Chain A
Amino acid sequence: MKLLEINKLSQYFGGLCALNRFSVDFEGGELRALIGPNGAGKTTVFNIVSGFYQASKGDILFGGKSLKGLKPHQVTRQGIARTFQNIRLWNDLTVLDNIRIAQHHKLGYGLWDNFLRTRHYLDREKTITRESMEILEALDLVQFVDELPKNLPYGIQRKVEIARALSIKPKLLLLDEPAAGLNSSDIKGLITLIDWIHKEFDVTIWMIEHQMSVVMSLCTWIQVIDFGSTIAEGTPEQIRNNPAVIKAYLGDDAI
């Protein structure tokens, strides 16, 4: 069974066609990129997959089940986690709380357990804290547990956001421009990190990225979209030499 199957997805905002019959298949275990010029509709794809928009047409199957009509938190529960182009951490909560709150879907206790502080509540909170600490340890973020994200360097904030997404234990991880705003040494670290996460956590990764160094060194398969339609897909080598891609990025005169 395929992990993710997107079939002829279209999205209209008023009269504007942001996405036109977009299709993609994931077998599971890949590390793929979605690239394209600004405004091509990349983030729209992610927003639809994560349930933030409801698609105008077409369907999305995740593990054989349709995601249509699910709210974002329900989609997350199915095993899809994402990060954001502009970091969206909860800035006045500690790093540990940022990870813990992302476990909201599997708290497993109710309001009354919470008020009465039952044994069940204490056990669950302890488990959640332990699991969150494990994720932070794995990503080497332990020294920041009690810090507020807003006081951390940008690169660390990125890492915390990736840790938060991973803590959901997703089957599919969507990274929306993970290298945006990072300097070149941070980018090298990010490449190793994503590669390591992909192997270590056995997770399928789909990322949007503008930094070609990241895309070319990590991904085995690249899909290029422009004005909402797929214009090319293939291995990094094929994409690099594809005239349609060069035209989309650099204009007609470049050829």
Chain B
Amino acid sequence: MTAAAIAPARKGSGFWGAFARNKGAVIGLAFLTLIVLMAAFADVLYPDSPWDMTAMPFQPPLSEDALLGSDTLGRDIAAGIAHGARVSLLIGLTSTAVAVLIGVFLGAVSGFYGGRVDDLVMRFTELFQTIPNFVLAVVLVAIFTPSLTSIVLAIAIVSWPPLARLARGEFMSLRSREFVHAAVTTGQSNMTIIWRQILPNSLSPIIVSASLMVATAILLESSLSFLGLGDPNLMSWGYMVGAARTVIRQAWWMSFFPGIAILLTVLALNLVGEGLNDALNPKLARKGRS
């Protein structure tokens, strides 16, 4: 009882305070900012198309006309990474946004109404969960021909089920809270209750898992491009790794640098996600702050 009395006073530091307490999250955020800047200024840094041959093929890193080396056709690896960041971030963010829309909508409906509706939606969700993610994504992209839209949709379609389950759980538990009952007794409509009462309170865990989902989406896109199912007009990190895999013994840098770019971006997103988790769900924070 006494401990509970202390807690609110210590919580004063606010969202950023809680976020900054996790050092990894700050580093992740800093790195993510760098990548975003790189993507934004790709055209300034490397005005030419990343597909252009600008150097001799097989130039090792730190050579004169290619900082990170060139690939089998003489394209600049650094330019590819800068422009690839755009594709990775774009696909990561849009596909996650689409997945959140589908997932939260279905989860909300399912958790709020319960009963038959819940059964129906959950069986539908399980249908998607039983199919291996990646295989389904490959099939979808292959059927709809590789393009930015088809890749985004394919990734979104395979990623929404966990979000739907999460949103459903949140809605179910919040549905039985007294403030929601109070909203019912004061005559608010179901839409108002879902939108104004429950959704804002269920947002924290959804934001956290969405931030982690961006990382998975980037990985999925890279894997698709690696298999040659990327958008043929766009340079992407996965494509670079895939194209260079046959010459990995002679020219390690061609797959190494894009691979590092994927690794660091995904790591940064995960760190940020964890920081968000600490900041938004203080009760679940791993370290006790009594």
Q: Say if A and B assemble together.
A: no
**B residues within 8 Å of A by Cβ?**
none
**A residues within 8 Å of B by Cβ?**
none
